[in-house]
Structures are given as structure tokens and as C-alpha cells.
Structure 1
Amino acid sequence: MSAALNPPGDAAPTLPSVRHRPHEDVQALLTGTLFVALGVVLFRQTGLITGGTAGLAFLLHYATGWNFSLVFFLINLPFYGLALRRMGRVFTLKTFAAVGLLAGFAQWMPQWIHIDQLSTGFAAVAGGLLMGTGMLILFRHRASLGGFNVLVLWLQERFGWRAGQVQMAFDCAIVLAAFAVVGWDQIAWSVLGAVVLNMTLAINHRPGRYMAV
């Protein structure tokens, strides 16, 4: 049937570009950050590490006991200058809102749900999928979770580098640094979680498909 609609050699029809409406952006920010926050809760309960500024916040949280949400929010502050210069005011404002929402959700969610038993393997896979899907939602509404996400999106728009692959490189560096604060088992499961997260982005967020514009 698809061959009849688009015979071989014919160009696929070009769909018109439709901007997201404000209420759609609000829904996406809430949904995306809620998904990521649930993944963060799964990782935190099982002692796993993720990448990006969230990974740095995890490292400091595990090493010092500092509040994850506060550390995550503060770490992202230096990146807003790059976001404003390279990605524009709208992107920066949405990213600031997303970071604040994630910090709040990650702080409050343990009061909303309580998990008595959680497999580390399940947390790695489900948490990676949740965080990857949440980040994808944010990317598609021209927002991010700050930090490396800002740099990754700029590199994709500027040079065409795949967001998932670049993010994976950063995440692997964070996971390697985690050897100082968590055990081998947590590192191995964290690597799996990082692969699941970034494969979600690499498959669904490619140049020429649905970009963060």
C-alpha cells in the first residue's frame, strides 16, 4: 500500500512545519521532566549513576550526602550563558523551567511514591528508557535539561552530530569517574542504563528527522 502512495523514486510528501502552541510546550515540559524524575528516583534508589549534569549531581550526592536536587540546579547555572548565546532566549527559558521542574520533581517524588523492592537491572533499563523518552520530549519542544544537553543540541544543530552519540561520550566519562564513589556492580548497571538512554535518543532524534526547532 505504501508503495502505491509513494512509488519508488518519488520524493516523499513534505509536511508543513507546525509550531508548538504554548499549552503544548507546558504539557511537554511537565511530562518530560516527570518521566526523567521517575528515572532519577529509580537510579538513586539502586545507587546507579547517569550522565550529564545529573550524573555530576549524583556523584556529589553519593560522595557528600548533599541534596541531589539542589546540587543539580546549581551545577546547571553556568550553562545558561551558552544556551542564551547559541540557542536563543526561548530555548534558554524553557531549559531553565525544565531544570527547575526536574529538581522539584526529584525532591518531591519520594514523598509521592514508595518502592519497597526494586531490581537493579530493572532500574537501569526502565530508568534509562524513562529518562531518554523524557529528554526526547523536551528536545522536540526546544528545551533541554541544561548542562551537556545544551552543548549536545548545539553541536547537532551546528555540525550535524547525532545528539545521542555525543551525549553517550559525555555520559561514559561521567560513569568512569563514578568508580571513586560506587561499586563495580553499580558501574556495570549504570553503563547499561546509559546505553539504553542514549540509544533512545540516537534512534529517535536524528538530523533530518524531528529536530529541536
Structure 2
Amino acid sequence: MKTTHRWLSIVEGCLLVALGLHILNSSGLLISGTAGAGMILLRVTDLSFGQLFFLLNIPFYILAWYTLGRDFTLRTFASVSLLSLLSELMKQYVVLSIHPLLSGALGGLLVGFGLIILFRHNASLGGLNILSVFLERRFGLHASKTTLVADILVLMAAVVFLDWSHLGYSLLAFLLLSSVVGRYHRPPEWAQIVMVDAKV
């Protein structure tokens, strides 16, 4: 029962993230982390977002396997694969026409809540999500802080590809995602102990 609940939650989290990313992609906006890097690379390659997202995550599995454990890595691999598949399906069958302002707001919120679900069930969407979980477990650094740094780096790279209005709407998505993770993500007890020890 516990295993079934965990995997259903992972599927739900991936659905929320996939829909959020599709909404952002439909308006030409970006999001942070590996997904944001994939959205940028869409503009310079012939690969789809799903293909790019899957390929970009491959190196991070090594970090996850040796530092976060086999179970976390396998759940993350399954989540990344599922998200890549859902992204391909939504690209083919879900047609959207949304104002960029609403797209940025909805996309950021959906991706943020999807990540919360995955974090709570010991999974992630690879890339910088793996790094954020590792830093949280090793140093007690809250995942929202790592997410914010990733947001800034992706936004800096996006200056080359986006006009100022789309940069502003993407920034809205970044801020809402970071806000959701910051307010709703609760590190496990062992991570909270690490943070207390670090402050002492």
C-alpha cells in the first residue's frame, strides 16, 4: 500500500510539472534548472524538449547513485523518463493559447507544487533537483536556495534568446516556483538536525 501510494504521488507530481512546463513552452517562457536549460537548447537544436530533458539528466544520475542511494536514483530516473514521455504527449495533443502573464503564473505554480510532491516521496526530476537534495541532506541547505541560484543562472543565459517582456514573465514563473518550494517544502528530520548543528 505504501509503495502504491508513493508511485501514484510521483505520477501526480510529474503530471503537474509536465503541464506547467507545457504551459510555459506554449508562451515561449522559461523555468529554472535542467528544464530551463532544455528550453534554451530547444532554440538551437532539432531535438524536442522531452529528448533534451532526458539527455541532460544522464550525468546527474551518477551523483545521485553514489551520494543519495539506489532507491532515490531509480525513482528519479523513473520520474525523468515519465516527465519526458508526458512532455512529448502534451506537445502532440494539448494545444494552448495563454497570455504570457497567466502562463508564467500558472506554469511556475504547477512546477513548484509538482516538485514538492516529488521531494516528499524521495524523488526528484534530476539535474539541479538532485544537487539541491544532495546539498540539503549533506549541509542542511534548503532546496529553495539552490532553486533560486539556478533561476538566476538560467535567467542570465536566457538574455540572449528572450526579449525583455518574456524575460519578465519568466522571472515571475521563477519567483513563484521558488516561493512554493520555500513555503511548502519541509526538510526531513535528519536534514533539520543538520541545520541545527550547522547553526551551533
Q: Same fold (TM over 0.5)?
A: yes
Q: CA RMSD in A?
A: 1.6
SS in 1 for 2:44: helix
- State whether structure 2 residue 92 is matched by structure 1 residue 111: yes
1:50–1:193 CA contact under 8 A, matched in 2: yes
Count of residues paired in the alignment = 191
1:140–1:210 CA contact under 8 A, matched in 2: no
Q: Mark the runs of 5 or more structure 2 residues left unpaired by the alignment.
A: 192-200
Bigger shift: residues 88-97 or 59-68: 59-68
Letter in 1 for 2:16: F
CA-CA distance at 1:210 after TM superposition = 10
1:53–1:148 CA contact under 8 A, matched in 2: yes
Q: Mark the runs of 5 or more structure 1 residues left unpaired by the alignment.
A: 1-19
CA-CA distance at 1:26 after TM superposition = 1.3
CA-CA distance at 1:97 after TM superposition = 0.3
What is the TM-score of this pair, normalised by structure 1? 0.85
Q: Write the deviation string for residues 41-94 of structure 1: whole angstroms up to 9, x where unpaired.
A: 111010001111111100000233421110110000000010011110000000
What is the TM-score of this pair, normalised by structure 2? 0.91
- State whether structure 2 residue 126 is matched by structure 1 residue 146: yes
Letter in 2 for 1:192: L
- State whether structure 2 residue 160 is matched by structure 1 residue 173: no
Bigger shift: residues 35-44 or 102-111: 102-111
Cα distance in 1 for partners of 2:84, 2:127 equals 14
Q: Write the deviation string for residues 121-163 of structure 1: whole angstroms up to 9, x where unpaired.
A: 1110111010000000000000000000001011111111110
Of the three residues 19, 23, 28, the one matched with 1:42 is 23
CA-CA distance at 1:207 after TM superposition = 3.3
Structure 2 equivalent of residue 85 of structure 1: 66
Letter in 2 for 1:83: A
Cα distance in 1 for partners of 2:18, 2:190 equals 24
Structure 2 equivalent of residue 95 of structure 1: 76
